[in-house]
């Protein structure tokens, strides 16, 4: 067996790779930004009561009716684009975590079904196929809603 490097050695190797350090820094900034979105964002784009239709299609840097600055402008419904991006980041990171979790579970299920009885393997195959079908239907429904 190969000897495992200790934590200090691993950190030294990691620190010597500028690409890895930059990627970690970007990931930390994205996670912090998503976590602090309610504090950073000028408005909650999902709070319909807080939106003002008179703020629609403002150019970047203009002032909202609430007195705040729309740094990236607003859309046709008066939502601040920076707020929409920050709140959307939260959703995107959640989907990414779920995708990685499913991607990590898939090989485990495949290995287990390969070593299990034929009945168990068939049940896992049907269950996994149903899950994939449901996810496909949800994706089609979302894409259809986006096209409309």
- pLDDT tens, the chain, 148 aa long: 667 778 888 899 999 999 999 999 999 999 999 999 999 998 999 898 888 899 999 999 999 988 999 999 999 999 999 999 999 999 899 888 888 887 888 788 888 888 888 898 889 889 888 988 888 888 888 888 777 6
CB 81 within 8 A of CB 73: yes
pLDDT for 74: 95
Crossing angle between the packed helical segments 7-15 and 18-35, to the nearest 10 degrees: 100
- pTM score above 0.75: no
- Residue 101 phi, psi dihedral angles, 5° rounding: -65, -45
């Amino acid at each position: 067996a190969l000897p495992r490097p200790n934590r200090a050695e691993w950190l030294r190797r990691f620190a010597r790779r500028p690409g890895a350090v930059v990627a970690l820094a970007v990931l930390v900034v994205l996670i912090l930004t998503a976590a602090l979105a309610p504090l950073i964002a000028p408005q909650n784009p999902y709070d319909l009561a807080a939106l003002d239709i008179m703020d629609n299609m403002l150019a970047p840097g203009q002032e909202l009716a609430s007195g705040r600055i729309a740094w990236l402008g607003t859309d046709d419904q008066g939502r601040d684009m920076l707020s929409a991006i920050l709140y959307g980041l939260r959703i995107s990171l959640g989907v990414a975590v779920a995708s990685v979790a499913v991607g990590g579970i898939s090989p485990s299920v495949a290995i287990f079904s390969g070593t299990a009885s034929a009945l168990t393997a068939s049940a896992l195959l049907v269950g996994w196929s149903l899950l994939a079908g449901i996810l496909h239907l949800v994706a089609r429904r979302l894409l259809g809603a986006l096209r409309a």
